[in-house]
């Protein structure tokens, strides 16, 4: 079962767990410092955004990846909470 963002500007986009380290590609605007640039470490959750203009090794378009913080409170609310033992 794939987790998806339930609301907001990324509604319907997949929430995935990183298999390797990526960089957040969220553009905050020039007045806010440009790209987020936060590393999405292996095992962290991220939101898969729209297809970027880059082409991957297998010839398909790459998806933008956004850290959960940049994806907003709607993405955070879409992640089920873990039960503490």
Assigned domain for 84 exists: no
Task: Tell me the whole-structure pTM to 2 decimals.
Answer: 0.80
Assigned domain for 85 exists: no
pLDDT tens-digit readout, 11-52: 999 999 999 999 998 887 767 778 888 999 999 999 998 877
Q: 3-state DSSP call for residue 53?
A: strand
Structural domain of 70: 3-77
Query: What CA–CA distance (Å, rounded) separates 34 from 46?
Result: 19
Query: What CA–CA distance (Å, rounded) separates 21 from 43?
Result: 9
Number of domains in the chain: 1
Assigned domain for 67 exists: yes
Assigned domain for 82 exists: no
- Burial (CB < 10 A; 0-12, 13-18, 19+), residue 66, is buried
Assigned domain for 59 exists: yes
Q: 3-state DSSP call for residue 76?
A: helix
């Amino acid at each position: 079962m794939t987790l998806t963002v339930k609301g907001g500007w990324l509604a319907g986009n997949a929430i995935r767990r990183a298999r390797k380290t990526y960089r957040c590609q969220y553009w905050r605007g020039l007045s806010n410092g440009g790209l987020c640039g936060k590393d999405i470490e292996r095992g962290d959750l991220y939101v898969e955004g729209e297809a970027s203009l880059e082409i991957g090794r297998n010839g398909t378009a790459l998806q933008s990846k956004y850290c959960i913080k940049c994806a907003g409170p709607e993405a955070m609310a879409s992640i089920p909470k873990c039960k503490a033992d």
